[in-house]
Each structure stands twice: as structure tokens, then as C-alpha cells.
């Protein structure tokens, strides 16, 4: 996805972002390993989180430009063309680019369904390194949450789903309720 021979391309590898530092640190490792593996083609590689953590897309874009990039390619670490890919990442990238006239950017396709992803899933299956739990056992990842407490969505989503009525509503305190008028 090189823009041209004259453009210096910066890469932003973007994930959702997490409240868990360990999860966010994984993206730093991905960006570092990507930069090392593809150093002949990609000298400027920066991690970015769409939300919840820094560096965000704005900071990563600024760092790419400070390192000499005139063209920035955002590589989303998302599986499908959902709302984050169709709206959030384009909006955030456009806002970041506005501070740097003369630069260009692209947003690559999400990971999608690829044989390499299927191979990775099979590798995880073959590893068989996670505990097998019986119904009602406490999963060690959920020590603070009873195993039988139902979760319908991630805790950072601003929406609530009522499984009995099927109604989706905005969570109080999410910051979105003022934008619905």
C-alpha cells in the first residue's frame, strides 16, 4: 500500500483499546514486531488505540509525521467492517490528518476471514493450554464475577441490551444520552 516513491509512509496499527494495561501493551509488541519483520518496507510504525488508552490515533498520526511520514496507512486490528471501521476510525483519522496539511492517509481493510486467521485459530485449538471447566466451575479469569452471572456485552459499550424485551437502550452515564434529543 505504498503511496508513491516520493511519499514517506507511516503505519498506524490500531486496535480498540482497553482499560487493561496488559492488553494495551500487546499492541506495542505487535507494532514493534511488525516494524522489525517488515523493516525494508515500513520504517515508521506506531501503535494506536481507537479509545480507552493512549496513544490514540491523533497521537500516533502526529508521531508518524514527526518521524517524517507524509502518507499514513492505518491498519485496523479488527475482524470485520463494523462501525469502528466504517465510522469511528475514519472520523478519528480525518481529525488527526486535519492538523497536518499536505499529508495523505488510507485506512486498510480489517483482517477479515483469511486462511492465515483460520490457521491461527487451529494453532490455538491445538495448544490446548487453557483449563477445561465443568459447568458451574469458576473460571480463573472471572474471580470477581460469579460464573453463572450472564454477560451480554462488553462493559465499555455505551448501550444496554434487555434480553427479555429485546430493547437496546443507552446506558445512563455513558455520555451519549445528551446526544439523543
Active site (catalytic) residues = 16
Q: Quick one: cell of 27?
A: 499492541
DSSP-derived pairing of the beta strands 159-161 and 168-170: antiparallel
Quickly list DSSP for 152-173: -S-TT-SEEE-TTT--EEEPTT
Residues 6+ apart with CB under 8 A from 152: 161, 163
Q: Quick one: cell of 178?
A: 445528551
Bridge partners (DSSP) listed for residue 10: 44, 72
CA distances to 5, 49, 60 from 12, in Å: 19, 10, 7
Q: Output the CA torsion sign for 74, 80, 84, 85.
A: positive
111 three-class SS: coil
Amino acid at each position: 500500500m505504498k503511496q508513491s516513491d516520493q511519499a514517506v509512509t507511516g503505519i498506524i496499527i490500531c486496535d480498540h483499546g482497553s482499560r487493561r494495561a496488559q492488553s494495551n501493551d500487546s499492541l506495542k509488541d505487535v507494532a514493534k514486531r511488525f516494524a522489525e519483520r517488515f523493516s525494508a518496507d515500513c520504517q515508521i510504525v506506531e501503535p494506536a488505540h481507537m479509545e480507552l488508552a493512549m496513544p490514540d490515533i491523533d497521537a500516533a498520526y502526529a508521531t508518524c509525521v514527526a518521524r517524517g511520514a507524509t502518507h499514513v496507512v492505518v491498519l485496523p486490528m479488527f475482524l470485520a467492517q463494523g462501525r469502528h471501521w466504517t465510522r469511528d476510525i475514519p472520523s478519528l483519522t480525518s481529525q488527526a490528518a486535519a492538523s497536518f496539511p499536505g499529508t495523505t492517509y488510507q485506512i486498510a481493510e480489517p483482517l477479515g476471514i483469511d486462511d492465515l486467521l483460520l490457521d491461527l485459530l487451529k494453532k490455538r485449538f491445538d495448544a490446548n493450554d487453557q483449563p477445561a471447566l465443568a459447568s458451574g466451575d469458576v473460571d480463573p479469569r472471572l474471580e470477581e464475577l460469579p460464573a453463572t452471572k450472564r454477560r451480554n456485552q462488553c462493559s465499555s459499550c455505551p448501550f444496554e441490551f434487555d434480553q427479555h424485551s429485546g430493547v437496546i437502550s443507552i446506558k445512563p452515564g455513558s455520555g451519549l444520552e445528551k446526544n439523543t434529543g
